[in-house]
C-alpha cells in the first residue's frame, strides 16, 4: 500500500486518487457549502410540497398561518397538521433513511449498484409485514418495524452471501438481489391475493406510499431513525478504511468482518425504518448515494463517509420530495394522493440503474457460459429422457382435464371428444380444456424463451422476466384490460406483443454501446423491468384502486377464463420460432461461450443475438397474453434440461420446451385443485416451486466468478 493510500485513509486525500495524484487539501468551506446547499434545496422542496394538496388551502393560507395572521383559520391548521405536514415529514424521514442506508451498503459491498432494493432488503421487510397482516395480528408500530428489520436482514444476508459481499461484480449482485426479490415478491403476491381482506391497502403501500393521517408514525420511529443515522456517521471512519481493501484495512487495525456486520445491521435498520413509515419506496437507496458520490470528486474531503453519508441522506430527501411534487403536479386531485410516491422514485432510480449499466466497461469482468454446463450425455440417454418428459407432459395434460373442483373420469373426456357427454361434463370440460391448452403452450413458450435468453446472456440467472420482456408485455395487457374492459382476446394479445416488442427494442438499444455486453443487457433489463412494474401499479391505482385483485390475478399468471383462441398466438409463435432455433442451434452453442469464438468461426454475433432475442421476446409476449405473467419457468426449465441431457442446445432446447409445458401444466392443475373451489394462480404455484430451486441454485453457484 502506498503512502498516499495511507494518507487517504486518514482523510487527507479524496478517494480514488490513492497513488495516482498528489494529495489535495480538504476544502472545509466547500464541503460545508455543499451540505448547506443540499439542505437548502431540501427545505425549498419541503415548503413547495406543503403547498400542494387536494384541499382549497393554498400557499398564501399557509404563509398567513405561519406568520400568525390567519387568526382562527381552523381549516388551514387542520390540513397542515393532519395531512400535509405528516406527509412531508414522512418524505424527509424516508429519504434520510434510504439515502444513508444505500450509501452504507454500497461501501460495504464496494459496489455502486448495492442498495436496499438490489439487496432485497425492502422485499424482505414488505413480506414480513404482509405475513403479520395475514395472521390477523394487530401489532404496535415498533413490532411491525422489528418484523421489517428481521425480514430485511435475512434477505440482505442471503444476497450478500450469494454474491460474496459483491466481490463477484455488479451483475451478479444485482441478479442475486433481483432473483431473491422476485422469489419474495411472488410469496407476497400470493398472500395478497389469497387474503385480500386481511391485506386490504397493502398493494399500493407495497409500492411506497408516504401518505400519513397524523404525526404518530413519524414521531414513534424518530428515535430509531436518529440512532441509525448517528451509528452510520460513527462508522464513517471505518468505512473509509474499508474502502482501501480488506488487506489494507486489516493492516491499519480494522476488524473487517465486524465492521461489515455492524454496517449491514445499521443499513438494514434504516431501511426497515423507511419500510415501517411508507412501505418499500423504490430505488432511493440506489440513486441518492450515486448522486452524492458524483459530487465527491469535485470537492476535496466530500468523499469521507462522515460527510458523504449525510449528503446522501439529504439527496434522498430531495429525491423523495421532488417525486412527490412531480406526482401531485402530473396527477392532480385524489388520484395523486392514491398513487404511491414510490412509483415515481422507482422510475427515477431505474433510470440511474440503466445509466450505471451503460457506463459498465465491456471488459470489466469475464463471463462464462450460461449453462452451469451439464455434462455430456449418451444419445440413448437423451432419447429416453426426452421420451419420458414427453410422456409426463401428456400425463399432466390428462390430469389437468380430470382434476379440479369437479373430478372427472377418462371416459367423461372420451365422451366429450365424441360429443355425447352430459350437460354437466360438457360445461366443465368446455371451461377446463382451454385452460389446460393455455398452460401447456404458455409453459412451452417460456421454457424455450428462457433457453434462448440464458444462451445469449451467458448467464444462468437470466430469464425473460429479468430482461423486462414479460414486464413490458404485462404493461400492454393490463393497460388494455383497464382502458377497454370489453377488449377482445386478440386485442389483448396484440397489445401485449407490441408492448413486449417495444420493451425489447428499448432494452436492446440501451444495452448496445460499442457492442452488446451480456452484463449490460441484464442490468438494463432489470431497470426496465422495475419501470414496467411501477407503471402497472400506477395504472391499477389510478384507474381502479379498489380492484387490486384484478391486477394481482393477471400479474400472478392465471389461466382463468381463457379460451382456445387466446392460445392460438402462442401456437403460431412456437411454429415460427422453433424452426429458427433448431436451425441456429450451433450459433447458440457458440454464443453461449464468449464473444471471440463465434467471430473466429464466422458467426455474425450481433445479428445472431438480435434474431435470437427477438424470438425470445415474441415467445414471452404471447405466453403472457395466454396465461399472464408466469415467473421462474424461463429460469428453471433450461436448468433442469441441461442437467438431464447436457448443455448442447441441439438436445436441451426440446427438453426445456417440454419441461416448461410440464411445469406450468402441473402448477395450473394444483392451483385449481388444492383449495377448490378456490384457486391459486399458476404463476404463484410455479413461484412456490421455483423459489426454493432458485435459492439453491444461487447458493450452489455463489463461488462462480462468471455469473
Pair 39, 169 in one domain:
yes
pLDDT at 15 over 70: no
Pair 174, 274 in one domain:
yes
pLDDT at 242 over 90: no
Q: Which residues contact 532 (CB under 8 A, 6 or more apart)?
A: 468, 471, 472, 474, 475, 503
Q: What is the pLDDT of residues 88-100, one digit of tens each?
A: 899 999 999 999 9
Give pTM, 2 decimals.
Answer: 0.76
Q: What is the pLDDT of residues 292-311, one digit of tens each?
A: 988 888 888 888 899 999 99
Q: Which residues contact 482 (CB under 8 A, 6 or more apart)?
A: 539, 540, 543, 544
Q: Which range is least confidently modeled, 347-356, 643-652, 689-698? A: 689-698
Q: How far apart are CA 459 and CA 453, in angstroms?
A: 8
Q: What is the pLDDT of residue 204?
A: 65
pLDDT at 75 over 60: no
Pair 508, 630 in one domain:
yes
- Within a domain: 526: yes
Q: What is the pLDDT of residue 308?
A: 92
Q: Could you tell me which of 106, 114, 124, 170 has the C-alpha nearest to residue 522?
A: 170
Q: How far apart are CA 241 and CA 6, in angstroms?
A: 9
Pair 30, 161 in one domain:
yes
Q: Which range is least confidently modeled, 111-125, 223-237, 692-706? A: 692-706
Q: Which residues contact 660 (CB under 8 A, 6 or more apart)?
A: 443, 444, 445, 446, 447, 448, 450, 633, 634, 637
- Within a domain: 193: yes
Q: What is the pLDDT of residues 467-497, one digit of tens each?
A: 788 888 878 877 887 777 777 767 777 787 7
Q: Which range is least confidently modeled, 124-138, 251-265, 431-445? A: 124-138
The residues with which 43 forms a beta bridge, in sequence order, are none
- Give 491's Cβ-side CA count (13 Å radius): 11
Q: What is the pLDDT of residue 7?
A: 40
pLDDT at 396 over 90: yes
Pair 465, 561 in one domain:
yes
- Give 22's Cβ-side CA count (13 Å radius): 1
Burial of 589 (0-12, 13-18, 19+ CB in 10 A): middle
Pair 348, 454 in one domain:
no
Pair 252, 122 in one domain:
yes
Average pLDDT value over all residues in the chain: 78
pLDDT tier, 170 (very low <50, low <70, confident <90, very high otherwise): low
Q: What is the pLDDT of residue 369?
A: 40
Give the count of domains, the chain: 2
pLDDT tier, 21 (very low <50, low <70, confident <90, very high otherwise): very low
pLDDT at 19 over 70: no
pLDDT tier, 390 (very low <50, low <70, confident <90, very high otherwise): very high
If one compares 204 and 303, the residue with the highest pLDDT of the two is 303
Q: 352, 379, 394: which is the final residue of a domain?
A: 352
Q: Could you tell me which of 99, 49, 43, 105 has the C-alpha nearest to residue 345?
A: 99
Pair 316, 439 in one domain:
no
Pair 448, 591 in one domain:
yes
Q: What is the pLDDT of residue 36?
A: 93
Q: What is the pLDDT of residue 397?
A: 92
Query: How many percent of the chain have pLDDT more than 70?
Result: 80
- Within a domain: 376: no
Q: What values do phi and psi take at 472, rounded to 5?
A: -65, -40
Q: What is the pLDDT of residue 43?
A: 92
If one compares 378 and 271, the residue with the highest pLDDT of the two is 271
Pair 320, 228 in one domain:
yes
Q: How far apart are CA 634 and CA 460, in angstroms?
A: 10
481 to each of 80, 475, 496, how far by Cα in Å?
A: 38, 10, 11
Beta carbons within 10 angstroms of residue 198's beta carbon: 16
pLDDT tier, 392 (very low <50, low <70, confident <90, very high otherwise): very high
Q: How far apart are CA 313 and CA 333, in angstroms?
A: 30
pLDDT tier, 395 (very low <50, low <70, confident <90, very high otherwise): very high
pLDDT at 167 over 70: no
Letter string b/e over residues 23-46, b meaning 16 or more CB atoms within 10 A of that residue's CB? eeebeeeebeebbeebeebbeebb
Highest-pLDDT range among 34-43, 426-435, 449-458: 34-43
Pair 451, 348 in one domain:
no
Q: What is the pLDDT of residue 39?
A: 93
- CATH number reported for the structural domain that contains residue 520 in this entry: 1.10.3470.10
If one compares 661 and 136, the residue with the highest pLDDT of the two is 661
Query: How many percent of the chain have pLDDT more than 90?
Result: 15
Within its chain, how far is the Cα of 294 from the centroid?
25
Pair 479, 586 in one domain:
yes
- Within a domain: 192: yes
- Within a domain: 637: yes
Record the cell numbers describing residue 156, joined without a space.
Answer: 440482505
> What is the chain's length?
707
Quick one: average pLDDT of 311-325?
Answer: 92
Which residue range forms the structural domain that includes residue 537? 433-675
- Within a domain: 531: yes
Amino acid at each position: 500500500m502506498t503512502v498516499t493510500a495511507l494518507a487517504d485513509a486518514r482523510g487527507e486525500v479524496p478517494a480514488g486518487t490513492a497513488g495516482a495524484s498528489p494529495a489535495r487539501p480538504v476544502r472545509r468551506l466547500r464541503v460545508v457549502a455543499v451540505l448547506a446547499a443540499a439542505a437548502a434545496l431540501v427545505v425549498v422542496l419541503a415548503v413547495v410540497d406543503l403547498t400542494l394538496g387536494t384541499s382549497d388551502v393554498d400557499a398564501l393560507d399557509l404563509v398567513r398561518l405561519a406568520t400568525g395572521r390567519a387568526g382562527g383559520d381552523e381549516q388551514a391548521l387542520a390540513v397542515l397538521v393532519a395531512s400535509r405536514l405528516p406527509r412531508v415529514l414522512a418524505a424527509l424521514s424516508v429519504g434520510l433513511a434510504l439515502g444513508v442506508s444505500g450509501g452504507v451498503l454500497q461501501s460495504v459491498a464496494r459496489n455502486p449498484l448495492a442498495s436496499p432494493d438490489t439487496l432485497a432488503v425492502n422485499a424482505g421487510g414488505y413480506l414480513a409485514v404482509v405475513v403479520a397482516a395475514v395472521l390477523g395480528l394487530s401489532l404496535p408500530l415498533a413490532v411491525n418495524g422489528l418484523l421489517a428489520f428481521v425480514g430485511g436482514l435475512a434477505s440482505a444476508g442471503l444476497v450478500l452471501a450469494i454474491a460474496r459481499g459483491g466481490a463477484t461484480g455488479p451483475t451478479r449482485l444485482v441478479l442475486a438481489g433481483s432473483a431473491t426479490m422476485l422469489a419474495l415478491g411472488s410469496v407476497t403476491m400470493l398472500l395478497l391475493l389469497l387474503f385480500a381482506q386481511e391485506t386490504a391497502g397493502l398493494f399500493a403501500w407495497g409500492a411506497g406510499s408516504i401518505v400519513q393521517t397524523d404525526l404518530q408514525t413519524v414521531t414513534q420511529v424518530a428515535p430509531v431513525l436518529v440512532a441509525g443515522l448517528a451509528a452510520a456517521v460513527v462508522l464513517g471512519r471505518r468505512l473509509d478504511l474499508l474502502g482501501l481493501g480488506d488487506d489494507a484495512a486489516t493492516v491499519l487495525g480494522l476488524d473487517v468482518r465486524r465492521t461489515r456486520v455492524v454496517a449491514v445491521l445499521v443499513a438494514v435498520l434504516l431501511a426497515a425504518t423507511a419500510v415501517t413509515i411508507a412501505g418499500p419506496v423504490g430505488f432511493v437507496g440506489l440513486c441518492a448515494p450515486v448522486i452524492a458520490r458524483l459530487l465527491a470528486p469535485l470537492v476535496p474531503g466530500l468523499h469521507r463517509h462522515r460527510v458523504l453519508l449525510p449528503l446522501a441522506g439529504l439527496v434522498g430527501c430531495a429525491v423523495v420530495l421532488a417525486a412527490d411534487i412531480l406526482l401531485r403536479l402530473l396527477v392532480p386531485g385524489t388520484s395523486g394522493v392514491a398513487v404511491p410516491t414510490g412509483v415515481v422514485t422507482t422510475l427515477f432510480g431505474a433510470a440511474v440503474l440503466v445509466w450505471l449499466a451503460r457506463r459498465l466497461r465491456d471488459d470489466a469482468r469475464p463471463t462464462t457460459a450460461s449453462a452451469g454446463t451439464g455434462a455430456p450425455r449418451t444419445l440413448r440417454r437423451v432419447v429416453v429422457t426426452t421420451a419420458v418428459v414427453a410422456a409426463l407432459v401428456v400425463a399432466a395434460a390428462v390430469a389437468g382435464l380430470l382434476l379440479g373442483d369437479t373430478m372427472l373420469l377418462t371416459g367423461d373426456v372420451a365422451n366429450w371428444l365424441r360429443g355425447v357427454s352430459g350437460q354437466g361434463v360438457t360445461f366443465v370440460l368446455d371451461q377446463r380444456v382451454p385452460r389446460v391448452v393455455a398452460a401447456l403452450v404458455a409453459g412451452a413458450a417460456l421454457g424455450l424463451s428462457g433457453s434462448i435468453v440464458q444462451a445469449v446472456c451467458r448467464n444462468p440467472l437470466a430469464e425473460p422476466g429479468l430482461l423486462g420482456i414479460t414486464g413490458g408485455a404485462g404493461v400492454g395487457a393490463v393497460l388494455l384490460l383497464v382502458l377497454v374492459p370489453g377488449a377482445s382476446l386478440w386485442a389483448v394479445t396484440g397489445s401485449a406483443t407490441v408492448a413486449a416488442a417495444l420493451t425489447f427494442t428499448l432494452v436492446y438499444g440501451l444495452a448496445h454501446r460499442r457492442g452488446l455486453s451480456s452484463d449490460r443487457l441484464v442490468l438494463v433489463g432489470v431497470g426496465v423491468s422495475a419501470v414496467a412494474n411501477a407503471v402497472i401499479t400506477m395504472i391499477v391505482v389510478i384507474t381502479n384502486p379498489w380492484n387490486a385483485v384484478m391486477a394481482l390475478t393477471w400479474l400472478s399468471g392465471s389461466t382463468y377464463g381463457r379460451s382456445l383462441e387466446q392460445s392460438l398466438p402462442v401456437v403460431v409463435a412456437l411454429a415460427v420460432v422453433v424452426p429458427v432455433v433448431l436451425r441456429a442451434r450451433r450459433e447458440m452453442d457458440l454464443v453461449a461461450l464468449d464473444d471471440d469464438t463465434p467471430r473466429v468461426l464466422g458467426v455474425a454475433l450481433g445479428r445472431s443475438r438480435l434474431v435470437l432475442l427477438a424470438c425470445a421476446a415474441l415467445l414471452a409476449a404471447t405466453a403472457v397474453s395466454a396465461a399472464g405473467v408466469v415467473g421462474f419457468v424461463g429460469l428453471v426449465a433450461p436448468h433442469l434440461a441441461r442437467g438431464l441431457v447436457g448443455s448442447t442446445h441441439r438436445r436441451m432446447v426440446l427438453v426445456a420446451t417440454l419441461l416448461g409445458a410440464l411445469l406450468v401444466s402441473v402448477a395450473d392443475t394444483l392451483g385449481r385443485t388444492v383449495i377448490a373451489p378456490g384457486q391459486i394462480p399458476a404463476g404463484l404455484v410455479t413461484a412456490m416451486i421455483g423459489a426454493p430451486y432458485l435459492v439453491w441454485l444461487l447458493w450452489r453457484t455463489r463461488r462462480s466468478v462468471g455469473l
